[in-house]
Structure 1
Amino acid sequence: MDGTPAAGETSRRRRRSLNTAVEYAIERKLLTENPLTAIKKVKSATSDRVDPRVLVNKTQAAQLLASVSYVGTWDRKKGRRLVGFYAVMYFAGLRPSEAVGLRKSDCFLPEKGWGVLTLHDTHPVSGKQWTDSGERHDKRGLKSREAKEDRPVPIPPLLVAVLRAHLKEFGTAKDGRLFTNERGGLVGSSTYWRVWRDAREYALSPDLQASILGGRPYDLRHTCITTWLNAGVPVAEVARRVGNSPEVIHRVYEGCIYGQEEAMNKKIEKELDWPEEGHSRR
C-alpha cells in the first residue's frame, strides 16, 4: 500500500490467488487463455523459514498465558476466556483457525494422563461478502487434507488441566465450541490479536516488547513445533500432528533445531560400532 515491495510469501500468495481466479474465468469461458503465463515470475531471496527470535521459552510462555488472564475487566472476562485458546496453540500446535472452532465433543480430557484433540474443520476469517453464510468466518475442512478427514492430536496433562478448568468456568457455546466472545459467537481475529498485544505488555520487559519475540499468536504454534522437534520427535510424526507435510516442516523449521548434534553423533557412533583391529565383528 505504501509502494514498497511486498514480502516474498505475500507476492507468491497473491499470485496464486489471482491465478486461481483466472483459471476459473477460463473454465467459465470468460477468458481464452491465462495471461499470467506470459509474466515472468520474479524469484525472491526471502525465505519462509521461521525466525528463531520469535520463539518463546517455557518461562516466557507461562508468563504470557498468565498475563492473558489479566486482560480486560474481571466481569467481562475478555482475557480469561482465551487462556485455553492460546494454550492449545502452544501445547498442541493448533492454528488459530482450528482453535476457533474446537468443540467439547472434539476433546478427550481424562482426569489423569494424556488427552486427545480430534480436529475436523477450520474457521478462517474470510469476510461477510465472501462466505455463503454471510458470516465473517468461513467453515472449511482441515488444511492439506480431504474435506471429511480429521486429525487427532495427543495433548499433555498440563493442557488437559487447562481445558478442564476452562470448561468448568465458562462452559461451551450453544454449538459446543470451547472458545467464544462475550456474546457466545466465534472469536474474531481482531479480538485474539488485541488480547495478545495487551498480554505482551504485561508479561514482557520493554526491550522484549519492542522485539519480535512472540509477536503474533501464531508464534505459539511455531514454538510448539520447534519444541517437539528439539525433543527428538520424528519429523513425520510432528507433521502428522500439526497438519503439514514433512517437507514443509524440514524447510520452515530447519533453523530452529538445536542441541541434538551430540545425541545424533552418539547414535551414528553406536550404529557404526567398528570392530577393534584384529578382531572380527560377531
Structure 2
Amino acid sequence: MNTSYDVKFWEIQRRKDRKTLSYLVRWTVARKPKSKSFRTKGLAESFLSDLRQAAKAGEAFDVDTGLPLSMLAAEQPVGPTFLEFARAYVVDRWRTSAARTRETDVYGLLSLVPALVADLPNRPKDSDMREVLRNHALLPEERRAELPRALVPVLSWLERASLPLVDLQDPRVVRTALDAISMTFIGKDAAANTVRRKREVLHHLLELAVEQKELPANPLHSVKWTPPKAVGTIDPRTVVNPEQARALLAAVPAIGRTRGGRLHGMFACMYYAALRPEEAAGLRRQNCHLPEEGWGLLTVEKARPQANKRWTNSGETHDSRGLKHRATDDTREIPIPPVLVAVLQAHIEKYGVAVDGRLFRTSKGQSFSSSAYSGVWQEARRRALTAEQVASPLAARPYDLRHAAVSLWLNAGVPATEVAKRAGHSVDVLLRVYAKCIEGQQARANSKISEALDE
C-alpha cells in the first residue's frame, strides 16, 4: 500500500450544477487531488472533520483512495448494498405474493434505489435507471428481460453507486429515502396513498434486514416523519342510487358488437352482489345457484386480478387467486336478489360458459382487461347520466358499483355484521370506510341530542 503524510485540505464547495449530493469535500494526498460529494453540508463537514483529525493525529493516508488508514478499514464494504438487498427482498417475497403485490414492491423500489446512491460520475438518466430496475434488475433471474446493450452501463453504474444498506442507520439517509417516495417520477408531490404504499415497501424491506441481522433495528423508527394523510373513507359523491344504477346497467348491453352484452352480467354482479371486479372475473357456473324463482346464491371462491405478465405466476395477464384477505381455500356466500338471478340466467343462455366454467370472458375466451371494461363503463355513463353527472365523480369507476351496493345494504338497515360478511370486509373496516355513505345518522343523532336538551 502506498501511503503519505503530505495532506492538504480545501474549503467545502457547493456544486450548484447538481440537483443532489451537491457538497464537495476536496483535499490532496501526495499532491494528488481527491474529492467526495455529499447530499448535505452537515455530512460533508463531518467527513472533512474526520480527515482533519486523522491528519492531526499523525495518521498515514492511502495515496490511491485518499483516506487515512483508520478510515480506509471502515470504508470497506460491510454487508450488501441497498440494491443487492432490494433484489433479495423481491425474491424473498415473490413466491407467496400476489402479482399486484409484486408490482407494488418493485414500484416502490423504483423510487428508492436511484435515490440511495453515491455521487459517482456519469450518473444515468433516472428514466433509464427505472427501466433497468423494472424490467431486469428487480426481477427474479428467470423473469428478467434481456438487457439492451445501451442499458448495460446503466446497470453497472447502479451496482457501483448503490449505498451500503448499513448507511440507512444514518437518519439523514433515511430522510433521503422518505423524500424520494414522497415525490412522483416527474418531481411533483405524490398522492397520499402512493406515499403510504411506498413507505410500507421500505418498512417491510428494513424489517427483513433486521430479521437477517443486516441492521440492528429498523431505522424508520428513529425518524420523526409524518406521511401525508390518506383518505380512508368512500366519497359519497361516487355512490349511485338504485335508479341511477339501473339506468347505467341498462345502457351497457348496447355498447359495441358483443362487448357490452358480455359485460352486462359482470357489472350487475358488482352492483347486486358487491363483487370486486377480480371476483366477478373469476365467477364460474358452479359458483352460482340460480333458481327459477326467488333469491339465488353466489359462492365466491376465486378471483382473477389483472397484472402485467412479468408479475403473474401463469405468465398471463390474469392469475387465479384466493379471495382478498382470506385463506387460500376460503369462500364467501352472497345471497343475490331475483333481478341478478335473471341477468345471470340470460347471460349463460346467450353466451354459455368457458371450459373452466367462467361466466365473463371475451368472444375469444379471454378475461376482460381493466381497460376494456372501463371503456365500456365510461360509455355507459355518457349514455345514462346527464352531462353534469358525467363530469362529476358519480360512478366514475366500475368499482363504484360495489360501493353503491354496500352503501345500499347499510342504509336499508342490514346489520353491519351481515353486510361485512357478504362484502368480504371486517366490521370495523366496513364502518370506517363507508361511514360517510350511511344516510340518516345525522338526523337521528340531532333528534337524540334535542331530546336530551329538553329534559
TM-score by length of 1: 0.86
Query: Could you say if the C-alpha distance between residues 158 and 263 of structure 1 is closer, same or farther in structure 2, counting changes exceeding 3 Å?
Result: farther
Query: Could you say if the C-alpha distance between residues 183 and 23 of structure 1 is closer, same or farther in structure 2, counting changes exceeding 3 Å?
Result: farther
Equivalent residues in 2 for 1:194-205 (5 A)? 194-205=375-386
Shift of 1:38: 4.3
- Partner SS, residue 378 of structure 2: helix
Shift of 1:108: 0.4
1:9 and 2:196 matched: no
Deviation per residue, 1:189-238 (Å, 9 max, x gap): 11111111111111111111110000000100000000000000011111
1:134 and 2:315 matched: yes
Query: Equivalent residue for 2:332?
Result: 151
Shift of 1:9: 2.4
Alignment partner of 2:360 out of 173, 179, 185: 179
**Bigger relative contact order, structure 1 or 2, given CA contacts below 8 A and separation 6+?**
1
Structure 2 unaligned spans of 5+: 1-183, 448-455
Alignment partner of 2:237 out of 47, 53, 71: 53
Of all paired residues, the percent bearing the same amino acid is 48
1:83 and 2:83 matched: no
Query: Could you say if the C-alpha distance between residues 133 and 46 of structure 1 is closer, same or farther in structure 2, counting changes exceeding 3 Å?
Result: closer
Shift of 1:23: 4.3
**Aligned partner letter, 2:189:** P
1:165 and 2:346 matched: yes
Shift of 1:49: 0.6
Alignment partner of 2:398 out of 210, 217, 220: 217
Shift of 1:62: 1.1
Shift of 1:262: 7.2
Alignment check: 8 A CA contact 1:9 1:48 kept: no
Query: Could you say if the C-alpha distance between residues 31 and 192 of structure 1 is closer, same or farther in structure 2, counting changes exceeding 3 Å?
Result: farther
1:97 and 2:278 matched: yes
TM-score by length of 2: 0.54
2: CA distance, partners of 1:127 / 1:222: 26
Number of equivalences:
263
Structure 1 unaligned spans of 5+: 267-282
**Aligned partner letter, 2:198:** R
Deviation per residue, 1:8-47 (Å, 9 max, x gap): 22322232234334545666x5944644444544243342
Query: Equivalent residue for 1:116?
Result: 297
1: CA distance, partners of 2:418 / 2:366: 34
1: CA distance, partners of 2:256 / 2:213: 51
Deviation per residue, 1:132-186 (Å, 9 max, x gap): 2101112221112111111011100110000000001001111110000221111
Alignment partner of 1:249 out of 402, 407, 430: 430
Alignment check: 8 A CA contact 1:125 1:137 kept: yes
**Aligned partner letter, 1:194:** G
Structure showing greater Rg: 2
Query: Could you say if the C-alpha distance between residues 34 and 204 of structure 1 is closer, same or farther in structure 2, counting changes exceeding 3 Å?
Result: same
Q: Report the RMSD for the aligned CA atoms in angstroms.
A: 2.3
Shift of 1:69: 1.0
